[in-house]
Chains A and B, each alone.
Chain A
């Protein structure tokens, strides 16, 4: 197994007597897009700020390519490119000058690299304009450009699609996927937009009240048929018969509640199930198909958003 791009080891943050982040332990692998999901106030931003050394770590550590951000800051941060919250850049300078200024802070970035990054984010035509004239989408691109200048192996994007229009969101998503797949960059994305996360992440960590309560692997749409949840409305008297049939013929376990039977199944199997149940004389008053989204899982895991 390769060395993780980033490791969080018992990471805690205490402000006053309040524990904001209560001990996070997980690894992020190279080439992986890791989503950081959680309601407001869950500690996402605090965690991200600790990852890049903006906030001091109370306990535990963050290791970047094996280097501790606490004791080996310069070596660790060299591998990180980030946008923390909004892509705020110097509005009174041109996009190019912004990149030039940031390039001087890290040895070994050539002018060619700046041009390359500008091209990558598609800002060639507007790069010499002042940033204050940029739209939010253009700023977001410039923000990504500055984060990529030094070829980081870890890219941290806090709310990257915030305030972007749908086409902008799609573009950002494509950049992120490309970086992970082609350049083997580990990308850490935070968001509260669940559907968005589902489309771009490989794994999603769910944070609630400073604790990681679940890590979900996201299935790739092309590889797997999305699971459907089928709900059948039939009298309780028929439940046993139906459940036995489903178990024997299709290998699924149906849950009964009230007049309803609920079970997961692939889309292709739905017609044959209905046919089988009808032939077995199960009285059905309704069949509903619902797709279980990440949102359901999220709400299921997270419960109510209670800020402690």
Chain B
């Protein structure tokens, strides 16, 4: 076991010895900063609602939203606030933090880049020949590299969190009582802000892990980093459109894309009606395991021949 730990440590050493890794984390921070600046300077930015006019403001907001989506959950939340006399806080660091959850797609991008390169690069550099002639089995090396990818994702997530929080405080200040409103099964409910954050990020991370594993599989199987990164990013971005196209086909519910967006179970906005949370979780797990097994088998069985 300590052997495995050393292998993971080696992978981390190699990863953070590369300038590219630091540049990627730098980009993540810049994106968070950029988002904070855009939100702060946007026309619709409201730092604090006025005691006298806030109900009116919310009604105007709802009317605007209703023009393009009359069933939007924001309208229900606004109505709930007006009925229950709950003045909104305006944008706080909390809100910024969970708004930042869309940046997990940047995070996914970075993780895919790392996952797609971590095995293929060893082949490209020729160092695979040194790595695989040590008393560590290929299986161990495979999983050490995989663990290292997940560790990178976790590190980047922490960076995203810390800097979202930091910029959130700087630009919007703390405030609020730590609760927020959310529509669940057609009803507005009050939930802790941490629940909201964990939920939003957690569901996004499922996607991240699946696509990173996919990139890792291609990297291990075909030893081509560019191909691994390219296909994984492509599939990640076209995924939801594919669901739209195939939604009326009988096999649609078995397709990975249809299941991958788990937020459909919290918002209730489902493309394929008969999907259930359990079904989706099982399907995703099956795909995930298939990716890992294909990668593992090919990595351990294939010859390391010359160029």
Q: Is the CB of B303 within 8 A of A89?
A: no
CB of A250 closer than 8 Å to a CB of B: no
| CB-contact partner of A90 in B14, B137, B305, under 8 A | B14
The CA-CA distance from A88 to B128 in the complex, in Å, is: 9
Residue pair B129, A77 in contact (C-beta under 8 Å): no
Question: Counting CB contacts under 8 A, is A84 at the interface?
Answer: yes
Are B135's CB and A49's CB within 8 A?
no
CA–CA, A97 and B129, complex, Å: 18
Residue of B nearest to A143 (CB): B130
Pairwise interchain contact A77-B125, C-beta atoms closer than 8 A: no
A1 to B133, alpha carbons, bound, how many Å? 29
Instruction: Determine how close the nearest CB of chain A comes to the CB of B125; give it in whole angstroms.
Output: 6
Q: Is B285 an interface residue (CB 8 A)?
A: no
Identify which of A100-108, A281-289, A297-305 touches chain B.
A100-108
Complex interface: chain B residues within 8 A of A93 (CB): 13-14, 17
Closest to B302 in A: A56
Q: How far is the CA of A46 from the CA of B10 in the complex (A)?
A: 28
CA distance A85 to B18 in the complex (A): 24
User: B170 in the interface, Cβ–Cβ < 8 Å?
Assistant: no
Q: Does A172 contact B (CB under 8 A)?
A: no
In angstroms, Cα B132 to Cα A100, docked, is: 16
Report the minimal beta-carbon distance from A283 to chain B, rounded to whole angstroms: 57
What number of B residues sit within 8 Å (CB to CB) of A? 27
Docked pose: A82 CA to B137 CA in angstroms? 17
Contact with B along A46-66 (1 / 0, CB 8 A): 100100111110000000000
* Residue B19 is within 8 A (CB to CB) of chain A in the complex: yes
| Smallest Cβ-Cβ distance to A79: which chain B residue | B135
* Residues of B70-122 contacting chain A, CB below 8 A: none
Q: List B contacts of A107 (CB < 8 A).
A: 3
* Interface assignment of A42: CB less than 8 Å from any CB of chain B: no
Q: Are A73 and B137 in contact (CB under 8 A)?
A: yes
Identify the interface centre among A90, A91, A102, A106: most chain B CB within 10 Å of its CB: A90
**Contact status of A97 and B6, CB under 8 A, knowing A88-B125, A90-B127, A105-B134:** no
Taking the complex as formed, is A29 at the interface, i.e. its CB lies under 8 A from any CB of chain B?
Answer: no
Contact partners of A90 in chain B: CB under 8 A: 14, 17, 125, 127
Please tell me if A92 contacts chain B, counting CB pairs below 8 Å: yes
Chain B residues near A80: list those with CB within 8 A.
133
> Which residue of B is nearest A82, CB measured?
B133
CA distance A49 to B128 in the complex (A): 12
CB-CB under 8 A for A55 and B125, given A77-B134, A89-B130, A107-B3: no
Apart from the given pairs A73-B135, A84-B129, A88-B125, 17 other A-B contacts in the complex at a CB distance below 8 Å? A46-B305, A54-B133, A73-B137, A77-B134, A84-B130, A85-B129, A88-B129, A89-B130, A90-B17, A90-B127, A92-B18, A93-B13, A97-B17, A104-B10, A105-B7, A105-B131, A105-B136
Residue pairs across A and B with Cβ atoms less than 8 A apart, 16 shown, are: A49-B306, A53-B132, A55-B303, A74-B136, A77-B134, A82-B133, A84-B133, A86-B126, A90-B14, A90-B125, A90-B127, A101-B10, A105-B10, A105-B131, A105-B134, A106-B135
Residue numbers of A with Cβ under 8 A of B are: 45-46, 49, 52-56, 73-75, 77-78, 80, 82, 84-86, 88-93, 97, 100-102, 104-107, 146
